[in-house]
Chain A
């Protein structure tokens, strides 16, 4: 599996993390504007954590990495506290916020009212919707 892109590190909290791919968005709902906290991608050797909230009893989908309509889309299981479903998706190295539904379908922040069967499908839908524009963190 290809190594996922090393990402920018935003904020002191992220630099304190080792081995964690992403931390939660719990602050976001409290009104913080710091919606994303990121660390280094280390997908190798990370197992799907079926015991985590968000995907109890369901293994995370397999990693993927491909070029779709000229964009690099990647996905891999990650440590995350539930709302990602333990899975991270990148479009040209920028995180696409994705979420696993109770029925194991997926949505992303780009297509949030429509469900998709797999993280790869939700990544491809985002590429189509983006029409070449870049994902950026929310202000």
Chain B
């Protein structure tokens, strides 16, 4: 059974296995298909049109399915690998072990934002950035530059306290848990972390940075925590709704999975700890 662990608690060997699987997925070309898919959804998900991956109730089940697919691709390379999560309320500085050269590497250099050390530095030759909207073929970051502070635990708790999953108009203007977690409204959790990392993570092609998966694994865990705190709340809308994925509607691009199928993550993986 897959157990997703806090990245801060990974052993050196676990970090190496995860990094090696990422590099191999990159080498085969499969990694970049995930980047392409994500960017395609980000550009087509609109507040007043069809929306699936973002700015909509299915933001959470869509990314859960996306991460499961990605994790399965890693496990086809190394069955021992599971996606770690990054609790950015705790590991909130550029000095965190997450950014060490033996894991994701650190922030970008001043001149051009280039990540110059670690396994994903362009100089290593194993992490070409090709699915992108500009000509720069190297991983970039500007940790803490776009916004100075990552969300705090109390800000997270204020969002987890919201009992309603989502509300009409089911988009970036909505009240409720989903949109506050996504960050278009309120204290801003998920979106702010993308901006804090900077570089490709701030763009539609954000999965170019491997931290994308660790960020979203933590967002996914927050959804599980919210479910535990609100056992009588569930995914909304329950009924078919224009432009929006209802509880029992299938989600693109898979077309064989519904939000209802994604509500219980324990069918696919567990966490080292949920509380």
Chain B residues with a Cβ closer than 8 Å to the other chain, count = 45
B113 cross-chain contacts in A, Cβ below 8 A: 131
> Which residue of the partner chain, among B37, B43, B135, contacts A97 with CB atoms under 8 Å?
B43
Q: Is the interface of B mostly helix, strand, loop or mixed?
A: loop
Partner of B43, one of A28, A55, A56, A100: A28
Given A102-B171, A110-B203 in contact, is the A54-B39 Cβ separation under 8 Å? no
Binds B, one of A13-21, A30-38, A63-71: A30-38
Flag whether A12 is at the interface (Cβ < 8 A). no
- Chain A residues with Cβ below 8 Å from B206 are 112-113
Contact present for B130 and A134 (CB under 8 Å): no
Does any Cβ of A come within 8 Å of B202's Cβ? yes
B242 to chain A, nearest CB (A): 11
Contact indicator B202/A29 (Cβ below 8 Å): no
Size of interface on A: residues with Cβ below 8 Å to B: 39
Q: 1/0 per position for B160-195, CB-CB distance to A under 8 A?
A: 000000000101110000000001100000111011
Contact B204–A25 (Cβ < 8 Å): no
Residue of A nearest to B40 (CB): A28
A135 at the interface (CB under 8 A from B): yes
B271 contacts the other chain (Cβ, under 8 Å)?
Answer: no
What B residues does A97 contact at CB under 8 A? Answer: 43, 133, 204
The SS class assigned to the A binding surface is loop
Question: Provided the pairs A103-B173, A113-B202 are in contact, do residues A138 and B47 lie with their beta carbons within 8 angstroms?
Answer: no
Chain B residue with the shortest CB-CB distance to A101: B172
Task: Tell me if B133 and A111 are in contact (CB < 8 A).
Answer: no
Chain A residues within an 8 Å CB radius of B136: 133
Any A CB within 8 A of the CB of B48: yes
Residues of A within 8 A of B43 (CB): 25, 28, 35, 83, 97, 99, 109
Measured CB to CB, the residues of A under 8 A from B are 25-26, 28-33, 35, 53-56, 81-83, 97, 99-103, 109-115, 129-131, 133-139
**Can you name 18 extra interface pairs (CB under 8 A) apart from A54-B47, A133-B135?**
A25-B43, A29-B252, A31-B40, A31-B253, A35-B43, A81-B49, A83-B43, A99-B46, A102-B47, A103-B173, A110-B133, A112-B204, A113-B190, A135-B134, A136-B132, A136-B133, A137-B133, A138-B39
Q: List 17 A-B contacts (CB under 8 A).
A: A29-B45, A31-B40, A32-B40, A33-B36, A35-B40, A54-B48, A101-B173, A102-B171, A109-B204, A111-B203, A112-B202, A113-B192, A113-B195, A114-B146, A114-B202, A133-B134, A136-B134
